[in-house]
Chain A
Amino acid sequence: MSDEDSVALPNDEQFRYAMEAAPTGMIMIDRQGHIVLVNGQVERIFGYGRAELIGQPVEKLVPERFRHAHAGFRSSFFVSPQTRLMGGGRDLFGLRRDGTEVPIEIGLNPLHMDGADFVLSSVADITERKRNEREREELFVELQHLNAELEHRVEARTAELSATLREREVLLQEVHHRVKNNLQVISSLIAMQARRIDDGSGRTALEECQTRVQAIALIHEQLCRAKDYARIRFVEYAKTLVRNVFRAAGVSGNVVELDLQVDDAALTVEKAIPCGLILNELVTNALKHAFPDGRRGKLVVLFERRSDGRLRLMVSDDGVGLPKDFDARTCPSLGVHLVRTLAEQLEGELSVTSDSGTCFELIFLERASA
Chain B
Amino acid sequence: MTRAEPLAILIVEDERVVARDLEEMLGDLGYRVTGVVSSGAEALHSMNREPAQLILLDIRINGPLDGIDVAVILRRRFEVQVVYLTAHTDEVTTERAQETQPLGYLSKPIHIAELQAVIGRAAARIASQPRSDV
Contacts and interface: CB of A to CB of B under 8 A. Distances in A.
Interface of A: 173, 176-177, 180-181, 183-185, 187-189, 191-192, 195, 211, 213-214, 217, 221, 224-225, 244, 247-248, 250
Mostly helix, strand, loop or mixed at chain B's interface? helix
B83 to A, nearest CB: 16
Interface of B: 15, 17-18, 20-22, 24-25, 28, 60, 87-88, 107-114, 117
A192 B17 contact: yes
A214 B113 contact: no
A189 B88 contact: no
8 closest cross-chain pairs (CB), A and B: A247-B113, A188-B21, A224-B88, A187-B109, A184-B108, A184-B109, A214-B109, A217-B109
A178 to B, nearest CB: 9
Nearest to A244: B111
B88 A225 contact: yes
A191 B88 contact: no
A221 B21 contact: no
B21 A192 contact: yes
Contacts of A188: 15, 17-18, 20-22, 109
A224 B87 contact: yes
15 contacts: A173-B88, A180-B88, A181-B15, A184-B18, A187-B21, A188-B17, A188-B18, A188-B21, A192-B17, A192-B21, A195-B28, A225-B88, A247-B114, A248-B111, A248-B113
B38 to A, nearest CB: 13
Contact of A185 (B15, B25, B112, B117): B15
Given A188-B17, A188-B21, 15 more contacts: A176-B88, A180-B108, A184-B15, A184-B18, A184-B109, A185-B18, A188-B20, A189-B17, A191-B21, A191-B112, A213-B109, A214-B111, A221-B87, A221-B107, A247-B113
A272 B88 CA distance: 18
Mostly helix, strand, loop or mixed at chain A's interface? helix
Given A184-B15, A224-B88, A247 B111 contact: yes
A211 B112 CA distance: 11
Contacts of A191: 21, 24-25, 112
B87 A180 contact: yes
A211 B18 CA distance: 15
B47 to A, nearest CB: 24
A163 B18 CA distance: 34
Contacts of A211: 111
B113 A250 contact: yes
Contacts of A189: 17, 21
